[in-house]
Amino acid sequence: MEQLGDGYTNRVVERIRRFAFFPYSVLQSLARDALNEEWGKNLFVLEKYLAVHIPWSIEQGRYTHSHNQFYVTAGHLQTRYGIPLYLVFAENNQPNQPWRLVTAGSNISAHELPDPPEIPSPPEIPLGHEIVMIHDHILGDNAERVQFLAHTPPVAQMCAVSGAIQWSINRRLQMSYWYYGRMQYIVPLYLQNRENIAFAPDAVAPLQVGASNILVRTVLPAAAPYANARVAVRRHDQLPPWLLDAWAGIAQSTSTEQIEDPEAQPAGGET
55: which DSSP letter?
H
- Asked if 101 and 136 sit in the same domain, the reply is no
Whether 54 is covered by a domain: the verdict is: yes
- Asked if 135 and 97 sit in the same domain, the reply is no
**Boundary of a domain, candidates 47, 72, 105:** 105
pLDDT, tens digit (0-9, with 9 covering 90-100), for 110-153 = 889 999 999 999 999 988 889 998 755 566 556 566 777 777 77
- Asked if 183 and 217 sit in the same domain, the reply is yes
Res. 50: pLDDT tops 90: yes
* Alpha-carbon gap, residue 107 to 110, rounded angstroms: 9
Cβ–Cβ < 8 Å for 200, 222: yes
Distance of CA 46 to the CA centre of its chain: 10
Whether 146 is covered by a domain: the verdict is: yes
**Boundary of a domain, candidates 105, 121, 141:** 105
Whether 191 is covered by a domain: the verdict is: yes
Range of the domain at 215: 130-248
Rounded to an integer, the average pLDDT of 65-73 is: 93
Whether 38 is covered by a domain: the verdict is: yes
Domain count, the chain: 2
* Alpha-carbon gap, residue 104 to 124, rounded angstroms: 36
CB atoms < 10 A from the CB of 197, how many?
Answer: 16
- Asked if 243 and 135 sit in the same domain, the reply is yes
**Element at 256 (helix H, strand E):** helix 256-260
* Alpha-carbon gap, residue 156 to 125, rounded angstroms: 24
* Alpha-carbon gap, residue 203 to 246, rounded angstroms: 11
- Asked if 101 and 173 sit in the same domain, the reply is no
